[in-house]
Structure 1
């Protein structure tokens, strides 16, 4: 047997085996009523009610108009066009994102937490996104248990990841690995065998649960191959939650960083259905592409600098600002720097949002975390100073509809503080989180039988004719 095969087998065994330690279980996994904590069973009882609600609503109000489309909207990236149904979250311009009606502060307060922890578990948010209900501690623990049991990834994916060249961007590796895991798709297999449409949502659910479970391991292999000399990550520990396992596999053990990861992976999950990654997953899924292919497409959109890559760009800009001004600076020095930036035709990265008109609550909860855990970090102090100075300048300039910071203005600083300094990797972490939102939505797409998406398009001559232009 060749040495390369032996190495691969050793890596595979380490990844797919369970820890044999004697840690006290993180959650009480024994439950009195199995159906109450089995997400699929709960969902099966909810779907007929929702199907009936939607059918009756469409029968009564199917011809009602919900908005108008202008020529500017069509040329301007479809901004403001009401054209999608997304059950999982809604973005309010003033309040920010609401997950199934709950604001981020409400989610922080109400969602289950790890023992001794203060930040919500992503497992709990996923339950909320899928069902619309705040889960119990036992229900969140059941998701943890199920994801840990589904986390095994195919050997051919490990082989592929280990053979990627170092020059291939982490997001390209991530997207390719997710696509390759389509070999495991229950949806694709059943569809090829002629499964009834009524079963689509169940198969989409199974694929989504499998995929979410596998993402931390895939993402950790990419990180360790690129930045840690190719050493394999620790195996899944079934006594740890999803975020904790991911943090450990990356190679970090700081409890505060684990808490940050729980927060980070919660707040980046969903941002209603019109953003590029969510819309792409919905669009590709509408062709009945399986969840692996749909999510891989979403990752390719997330990789763009105007979407998920923005947090990296913010950190690069902030670091350059720090190096340029050197040490602590006065507010006036910072104002002068910002004005020079704007006058040169550049923007202030991390400020402004296509929908939001106030400070992004995702920014605020990260700021609160930083005030508690790293109040004296120089880079955080600079971010705070920027927050103090920039909005007034943008208001005075008069061009920005929203002068307030968004989520990208803060996340990179926190990751840097805890030692995860490889900025090219940040969007992969965003992608791990975003899977929860877009796949929860995809399950409901199939449950409601939403059709293939096919809006009507025009060329400019026909559009001119349509509006009576000469």
Structure 2
């Protein structure tokens, strides 16, 4: 498929319109008083291929803040859902319900030229990205902090600054900075991953962006995709419980073999994908998260983060010896969850919702370009088992 905003290289890692993660950190705008990339600057780059000025970034922040409030019917829907319903299910439902106000769907029903599809799609995508923090924060408060008031949107803050405020952690500057980095660099991972591909597929039917992205979120909710970061942290904490404070390479190695011999995978290291180029991104993001930790002594002193770092040193050799892992090196999920946990965001099931806020940056901008370029309905050829067997026998 055509996917223009990001490209993965097995040696260089990911590039966003030709820019590496370090390039982005140097050139893309940070929040006032912060150092990390903000979502708006990455969104501008992904959508246009150009680095925004600081003034352009601040203008986009203001626009997103002004459009960020949820309509009443979505508030009522989310507030009516049981606390026991998985946060990702709630997020997908909320995004789908936002299509009540889809400008693309309304314009298409009235009859518009195909050449105008992208303009209405862009409006929907900007509105959806703007509303995701309020939606995601409301779900968090309802499930984990019921009865606590939700902070309103501050028109002078960036998207993630408002998101963290609404979560109730606005006082935590380091968590805010980490989530700015996390959401910016998780925004686009080429188009072949399950969530981005789902948005592309559903969007190719001319479903509006809300329906397309709600489908993407349900793909992201799978344990082999976005749910992995909570599984990594759960596994690491089980290891910590078993080996205690005696964190040695030998003890970690024993626990790794225990996991593998029980028929389980090692979360955060085993990434099943047959194409090497799609694996390089995992290590790029792991290194970037590790670098964030390296600049903060309090993170390096955290026992769980120490365990993660030492596991990343031991696991590759164990997995190579085991022989069934295509890429034994740590991926992005190996480190991201433990940092969130350290900063007090301890609700595992919520981590994928944060990923869902981030992934919108890439999947939705590519949907705009798919409409602008008039890309066709996606319809891959399918084969029966008999046809596959004949194909194999013919080789």
Alignment partner, residue 264 of structure 1: 182
In the TM superposition, what is the alpha-carbon distance from 1:176 to its structure 2 partner?
A: 0.4
Mark the CA change 1:163 to 1:445 in structure 2 (over 3 Å): closer, same or farther: same
Residues 189 and 281 in structure 2, CA contact (< 8 A), matched pair in contact too: no
In the superposition, the TM-score normalised over structure 2's length comes to 0.95
In the TM superposition, what is the alpha-carbon distance from 1:268 to its structure 2 partner?
A: 1.2
In the superposition, the TM-score normalised over structure 1's length comes to 0.80
Alignment of structure 1 residues 129-278 onto 2, 5 Å:
129-252=46-169, 253-278=171-196
Residues 92 and 214 in structure 2, CA contact (< 8 A), matched pair in contact too: yes
Cα distance in 2 for residues equivalent to 1:175 and 1:291: 12
SS in structure 1 opposite 2:8?
strand
Alignment partner, residue 290 of structure 2: 367
- Asked whether 1:100 is paired with 2:17, we answer yes
Cα distance in 2 for residues equivalent to 1:320 and 1:340: 12
Residues 94 and 358 in structure 1, CA contact (< 8 A), matched pair in contact too: no
Alignment partner, residue 116 of structure 1: 33
Cα distance in 1 for residues equivalent to 2:185 and 2:214: 20
185-194 or 255-264: which moved more? 255-264
Alignment of structure 1 residues 391-406 onto 2, 5 Å:
391-406=316-331
Larger-Rg structure: 1
Where structure 2 has 5 or more consecutive residues not aligned to the other structure, the ranges are: none
- Asked whether 1:350 is paired with 2:263, we answer no
- Asked whether 1:312 is paired with 2:219, we answer no
In the TM superposition, what is the alpha-carbon distance from 1:462 to its structure 2 partner?
A: 2.5
Residues 270 and 437 in structure 1, CA contact (< 8 A), matched pair in contact too: yes
Cα distance in 1 for residues equivalent to 2:57 and 2:246: 44
Cα distance in 2 for residues equivalent to 1:381 and 1:255: 22
Alignment partner, residue 419 of structure 1: 344
Cα distance in 1 for residues equivalent to 2:133 and 2:31: 18
In the TM superposition, what is the alpha-carbon distance from 1:380 to its structure 2 partner?
A: 0.6
Alignment of structure 1 residues 373-392 onto 2, 5 Å:
373=296, 374-392=299-317
Cα distance in 2 for residues equivalent to 1:129 and 1:152: 24
Alignment partner, residue 407 of structure 1: 332
Residues 202 and 212 in structure 2, CA contact (< 8 A), matched pair in contact too: yes
Alignment partner, residue 329 of structure 1: 247
Residues 358 and 404 in structure 1, CA contact (< 8 A), matched pair in contact too: no
Cα distance in 2 for residues equivalent to 1:359 and 1:444: 26
Alignment partner, residue 78 of structure 1: none
Cα distance in 1 for residues equivalent to 2:281 and 2:379: 33
SS in structure 2 opposite 1:98?
strand
Aligned-pair Cα RMSD in Å: 1.4
Mark the CA change 1:359 to 1:127 in structure 2 (over 3 Å): closer, same or farther: closer
Cα distance in 2 for residues equivalent to 1:358 and 1:218: 28
Residues 8 and 281 in structure 2, CA contact (< 8 A), matched pair in contact too: no
2:368 to 430, 443, 448: 443
Alignment partner, residue 7 of structure 2: 90
Residues 181 and 292 in structure 1, CA contact (< 8 A), matched pair in contact too: yes
SS in structure 2 opposite 1:102?
coil
In the TM superposition, what is the alpha-carbon distance from 1:468 to its structure 2 partner?
A: 5.3
Cα distance in 1 for residues equivalent to 2:224 and 2:375: 28
Residues 122 and 243 in structure 1, CA contact (< 8 A), matched pair in contact too: yes
SS in structure 1 opposite 2:14?
strand
In the TM superposition, what is the alpha-carbon distance from 1:443 to its structure 2 partner?
A: 0.5
In the TM superposition, what is the alpha-carbon distance from 1:274 to its structure 2 partner?
A: 0.3
Count of aligned positions: 387
In the TM superposition, what is the alpha-carbon distance from 1:96 to its structure 2 partner?
A: 2.1
Where structure 1 has 5 or more consecutive residues not aligned to the other structure, the ranges are: 1-83
Which structure has more relative contact order (CA 8 Å, sep 6+)? It is 2
In the TM superposition, what is the alpha-carbon distance from 1:368 to its structure 2 partner?
A: 1.1
SS in structure 2 opposite 1:410?
helix
Cα distance in 2 for residues equivalent to 1:136 and 1:281: 29
Provide Cα deviations, 1:269-302, integer angstroms capped at 9, x if missing partner: 1110000000000000000000000000000000
